[in-house]
Each structure stands twice: as C-alpha cells, then as structure tokens.
Amino acid sequence: MKSYLKFLLSLSVLLLISGMVYAGGGKQAASEGTVTLKFTYWGSPVERQAVEKALAAFERNNPGIKVDAQHIPTEYLEKITAMVAADMAPDVVYLDDTVATAWGTEGKLVNVYELLQNDTELKREDFLDAIWYKWSANAAVGTNTALETAAIFYNKDMFTAAGIAPPPARAEDAWTWDQFVRVAKQLTLDNTGKHPDDPGFNPNNIVQYGVQWGTSIWEWMTMVYSNGGRFLKEDGSAIALTQPAAYEAIQKVADLMNVHHVAPSPVAAKSIPEPSTALMTKRVAMVMAGQWVLLDLGANTGLNFDIGVLPKMKNNYVTIVLGAPTAIFKSTKHPAESWKLFKWLANPESSLDLMQGGLWMPLLKNWYTDETLIARWAQGNRAHPPSYRTAVMDAAMKYGMPVPVYNVKNYEKIANIINPALDPVWLGERTAEQALRGIESQANREVNGFFDTSRNY
C-alpha cells in the first residue's frame, strides 16, 4: 500500500513537472529573445497575492525577463526534490530550511556570497547577520525569505480587568521566568473562577489560560538559549540537550502545562483556536508566538492587543530568529537574471504589503535604523502598535539567535529523534531529563557537527 501511495505521489510530481516544462516552453517560444525564469514558492493566499504583485513589478522593471512562477501549496519539498532529481530544478526557489545548507555543500545551490562580492547594488553587510544559511564562513545558500522572530502577544483588556501590569515591551525590562509564571497564574481561571494557587482549583476544567506556549523546537529552544543551554556541544560532537541548562529550560516550559496549569497541554490546545481568536474570545491572555501572527491580529479590529518581550531565564535575554531561505539553483541557465530576481525578492520594497500587514520583517539592516524606511512598514497601522519597535524589532536586532536548523548538520534526523521523545514530557508523563537521556546515544549517532564552525550553537 505504501509503495502504491509513493507511486501516486511520484506520478503527480511528474505531471506537475511536465506542466511546468510545457508552460515555460510556451512562454519562451512566444517571446523570442526573452529569458524565462522558473520560480517556485509556497504561502497562504495573502502571500501568493503579494508575491504575484512583486513578480509583476519585477517584469515591468526588467522587460527582457519573464517569470514562470509556480505556487506549490502542499508537499513542497517532495516536489522540489523530484524536480531536482529529474534535472528540472527551478532557477530561483523558496527552499525548505531542513535541506538548504546541505544542498549547498552538495553543490546544488549558488554561493550568494560570491555574487555579492561583485555586485554594485548590495553588499553582504547590508543584510542582517543572523539570517544567512551558510555552509562555511564564506559560502551561503542565501538569506531568509523574510525575517521572523518571537514575542508575547496579549489581550490588553484582560490585563486591565485583572489589574495587572502588562508584559514589558523592552528586553532590558523582561520578566524573569518566575515573574512570568506568577502573572500567568493570576490570569488563569477554572470554571468556578479559581486560580491555580487557590484551594479547590480544578485543572481539568480551565476556561481561561494565562498563556499559550507551543512545543515546536523553536518555541522551547528560545528558553534553552536564554537559560545558557545549547542544541549541540560547542565542539559539535554530541547533543547538548542532556545538559542541565537545556533540559531544565525544557522542563520549565512543560511545567507551564502540567505543574502550574497556566498553559494548555498539546491535547487541550486542540480545542484552543488560533491566536487571534484565542485572545479575542479570552480563552488565553497571552500567546508566545512568531511575529507573523500580527497578520491576523492586525486584521481583527475587535481585538485590543499589544506586544511584550519574552520572559528570560538564567542567562541574558534571548529571542529566536527563524525563516526558510530563498536560493538559486546552480543548474540555472540564466545566473545573471536569477540574481536579479533574487535581489528583487530580498528588497523590502517588493513585498511592502506583507511587511505592513505584519506577516514578514525586512532582511536589510537600514529598514530597522532609517526612520523614513521604518515609517513605511512598521508604523501607522494596526499590525504594528508602538510597542512593536522595542518588543520585536529591537529585540530581534540585539538579542536574536538563529534556530539550530541554520547550522546543525543532519538537523532533521536529530530533530526527528528528539521531537517524539519529548511528547511524554509535554503530557507530564516523563521529565525532560529522563526523555532526553533516553535518546542521547541514538541522537548522537546522527550528530555530525556544524556547517559553519564560526557560529556553533
């Protein structure tokens, strides 16, 4: 049965590829002398609309180049992998972060650093430092398609009603973890109005949670970093998650669900709506989330929301940096034109709608320092309240650390061992230390160090 399903998937991919070849060939024939680039991408309907708008503008400004854009909403990596195997790779591509750097080392992708050395418009130092997918100190697949980071998003009315000061908007003022838990308890209620520390509180009938905190690696790795922990040991020889600084941080995230009862467990979270609705309906008071939720929060005109920085643990304040990259395949027959498209997509001007709407953040440093540029995307709209400047922009610039997928070899194989091992931890059935020590040797067999040893974390 599995073989048959694989056959069907392969067949659908081949049909997709055939359609691309036919469509691309038709465009080339219709416009002799015009270069046609194949570009593949994913994204929601809003993202697709913005990308199509950006590509139309690119074609207007580059009359000798046409873009055959293929939006692939599902099974994206499988289809791109099949295209590469069939020697039909796109020219420019949104690429899954789990394969990007490895494909760079295998010679499949262009080293963008080399292109920047000879470019008269852009330099390597124009980009934010944390967003590069590098396979060595001087070789990079490219950058994030857009910068993404994390913060605390909250319902202002719920804090006002409870008489509680809201989360700080500056990293320098961030709550300690204990302060954060204490506030979350004050905002958690069972069906009789009791808080978790009240006698008779019923953890099986919570109607309002103080916070929602997910269990994806980037969500708990933020606190591991903040606690002074690491994903791999400094020399890249083994996982570091079995060290106290790491597993203690993971345990504290799990304790939000199973000890303090201020956050829904993965099971309870299934009945919690997405962040905008969860905050609007007062099912939760705070959400730890990626800043992309601002697209929905800003569009919800009935929600009185604001933004605070994440809490911190033992170490200095840390927020996370994440986002899959855009890359150029080395097999392209049009490297100069592909570079033009890459630069166009990296320019915030090309995706200003997504910046203003709250989904994306710019890749270029001057869009965080030039007041005129900041005003064009991060001010004067519902998606970016005044607190955004310090709670998100400044926090990411000063304290952002990339998730391990940017630089850890065999990351996906390691993550596929760690994630299921932590499932019992989120349910309160095992401790983080027990779970991680239980898979330590298995995970270490997949550990193969870092791509760029100058930034090992």
pLDDT, residue 457, reads: 78
pLDDT at 38: 98
Task: Of 352, 410, 405, give the one whose Cα is nearest residue 383.
Answer: 352
For residue 226, the model assigns a pLDDT of: 97
Q: Could you tell me the residue ranges of all domains in the chain? A: 2-147+323-346, 148-321+404-455
**Protein fold of 148-321+404-455:** D-Maltodextrin-Binding Protein; domain 2 (3.40.190)
**298 neighbors 381 (Cβ within 8 angstroms):** yes
Q: How many CA atoms lie within 13 A of 126 on its CB side?
A: 15
Paired tokens of 436: 């991680």
Residue at token pair 């969860």: 278
Answer whether 2-147+323-346 and 148-321+404-455 agree in fold.
Answer: yes
Q: What CATH number matches the domain at 2-147+323-346, 3.40.190.10, 3.30.110.30, 3.30.365.10, 3.40.50.620?
A: 3.40.190.10
Helix H or strand E encompassing 25: helix 2-30
**Tens digit of pLDDT for each residue in 310-347?**
999 997 899 999 999 999 999 999 999 999 999 999 99
Q: Strand, coil or helix: what is 319?
A: strand
Which of 429, 444, 442, 439 minimizes the C-alpha distance to 251? Answer: 429
Question: Which residue's structure tokens are 């852009």?
Answer: 122
User: What's the whole-model pTM score?
Assistant: 0.91
What is the bridge-based pairing of β-strands 284-290 and 206-212?
Answer: parallel
Residue 113 to residue 92: CA distance in whole angstroms? 16
pLDDT < 50: residue spans in the chain: 1-31
Based on its alpha-carbon atoms, the radius of gyration of the chain, rounded to whole angstroms, reads 23
The pLDDT score that the predictor gives to residue 316 is 85
